[in-house]
Structure 1
């Protein structure tokens, strides 16, 4: 059997039991990690070294039941299938172990065939749980991301704005936003086709990422409109960032096979001292400034002041 690098933690204060269990684990193709007390077992689990634990009940310091309870209080993404391995065989003991958080309970008298089967179930369950967690995290990521540009989507960027405004209110710092719109984007689509239009959106999105700071938040607000959240940033600095983006957009190469294709963007800026404005009020103000930039001839940045 191939273990696929799986490590199984064996916690038992008896060296003979550790050797026997290690042999069983090795025979299954997995790597045994052994400790002699509950505290060391808990530390190994916290480091996410092992997803399956064979845990003795009676150990010095912290016993197996206490370790179970502590493990179940850890991060939900800390996958750990716990098998209590004990000389106790009473129904009350088994019930107590399972209520403490153990997934399975086996007697130390259990033969190696059954023990291997139980470990096999543990491994499959742990692997499935890990896959489900990974899938759930992937879905959490996808629900926030615009599929074309890789930027935050409409709902996610609005959420980020609310978070940054709340942080700014607590810290007494300014927050700014930039509302950007690609000039005459419909003409690009009509002239060169939607595939080229998509390429424009992707290239422009990459430019935004390269032009902003690591802690700025960038999202596709909708269509050819983008929203950038600038934490701890006042009006003057936000205009500098916006102008940098505007200037770089003028020289952005979209498609080497379409030399005449170039784009520009118009930008509306809104800043709030102490972050006291509501997110919707800020967006409305930035959108109004963007409209004025468009009306004044495009390829401009204007503040809501």
Structure 2
């Protein structure tokens, strides 16, 4: 897949060489010659990936990365640091600054393209989620719960046939507060309650199985698709690591490993996967907010109209009956006027709970507004709908409501209900709702606390 990549390097020859490599693979390339220029281009052009040189005069790559990650507009852009420095401390410093990866110059073409492909797969998920969220609730700072999700200890599964390698990985991770499991201990994770696996550390070199096949399986299996997979390889197996990245591995650690780099890469990959999880949850919450009444938890008017239209079409095509019950709390205004809106809200919540306890699972209970409620009853004729409405009426009147204060601790609440049935192809939502409202008005006029239906 193609992408827009920003190359940041203070040496013109390096920029041109990297530009030629990337354009040969059909990437669109942006160039920046120093740190301030890189920040300007990143904000104005929104590249998908940034290849950032570390050793630059003035503002070095570490500071550029920190500023990119500190800005809400650019924090989501993956940063790959490129440098001639090869010490572990330099890699860890880059990862701590927020870099997503670290490549040593001269950059191996195969390793570079493999890393870019891995980051583009990550971008494909996060960009879609960010766009969906931006269409509803704007992306903001992490809430307290979301921050705790990002920073909670990590559950790591180590897959390696070498007991020596397992010990070298387990000891520093457990000392850092993380939980480590091996294949023979995986059941312990299932028994730990609501905890789930975060990272798989997958040994690639000198294994008694095909690690590439296992890597591919983890990425294609629904239960493990979202896991961060970090592969560990000997220095001589760079090509093997590249193939693992192409198959979906998230990151690579070369053996012999450095503890600081191991912990930094675990932290980076876990925060990335949890960031995706947070975005998904935000999108789900946004979708829920669009159809759910926040006070009662029932469906709102938008969802009501959508579902009513859908069930009317099904009823028309299949010849099955369809009814609606319009329910209104009697004298609800007095509750608000005498006992206050807080008591009124408590009554509405308990009212919704009683309705839900007295309908079938396939019935759709909605609150279009105020003290008005509507129950859509698929595959239900008028007589059955009237019986169901009567059951709801009795459940509401059977016990008093608690308004939350001493004076409102035992409120007598009743309801009136009107029933209407679907009349066929020529019937419309407006007509059906009008008949239900007319039946409800008939019940109110007859003295309230009763159910009425209206013939066509």
TM-score range for the pair, normalised by the shorter chain length: 0.7 to 0.9
SS in 1 for 2:182: strand
Deviation of 1:4 after TM superposition, in Å, equals 5.3
Deviation of 1:9 after TM superposition, in Å, equals 1.0
How far apart in 2 are the matches of 1:207 and 1:14?
Answer: 60
Q: Does 2:444 align with 1:294? A: yes
Which runs of no fewer than 5 residues in structure 2 stay unpaired? 1-150
So what's the TM-score if we normalise by structure 2? 0.53
SS in 2 for 1:203: helix
1:63 matched residue in structure 2: 211
Please identify the structure whose Cα radius of gyration is greater: 2
CA distances 1:153-198 after superposition (whole Å, capped 9, x unpaired): 2223444445656776788754432111223333443444433433
Q: Does 2:386 align with 1:239? A: yes
Deviation of 1:136 after TM superposition, in Å, equals 4.0
Q: Of 167, 176, 200, which aligns to 1:19?
A: 167
Evaluate the alpha carbon distance shift between residue 191 and residue 7 of structure 1 in structure 2; reply closer, same or farther with a 3 A threshold: closer
Match runs of 1:100-179 below 5 Å? 100-161=247-308, 173-179=320-326
**Residue correspondences, number:** 294
1:33 matched residue in structure 2: 181
Greater displacement, 202-211 / 237-246: 202-211
How far apart in 2 are the matches of 1:274 and 1:97?
Answer: 59
How far apart in 2 are the matches of 1:162 and 1:67?
Answer: 48
CA distances 1:63-101 after superposition (whole Å, capped 9, x unpaired): 33x444444445599641111222365766554433322
Which runs of no fewer than 5 residues in structure 1 stay unpaired? none
1:216 matched residue in structure 2: 363
* Higher relative contact order structure (alpha carbons within 8 Å, sequence separation ≥ 6): 1
SS in 2 for 1:32: strand
SS in 1 for 2:380: coil
Contact 1:149 1:205 in 2 (8 A): yes
Evaluate the alpha carbon distance shift between residue 15 and residue 217 of structure 1 in structure 2; reply closer, same or farther with a 3 A threshold: same
Evaluate the alpha carbon distance shift between residue 23 and residue 172 of structure 1 in structure 2; reply closer, same or farther with a 3 A threshold: farther
Evaluate the alpha carbon distance shift between residue 259 and residue 106 of structure 1 in structure 2; reply closer, same or farther with a 3 A threshold: closer
Q: Does 2:417 align with 1:267? A: yes
Contact 2:219 2:248 in 1 (8 A): yes
SS in 1 for 2:291: coil
How far apart in 1 are the matches of 2:175 and 2:238?
Answer: 30
RMSD, aligned CA: 4.0
So what's the TM-score if we normalise by structure 1? 0.75
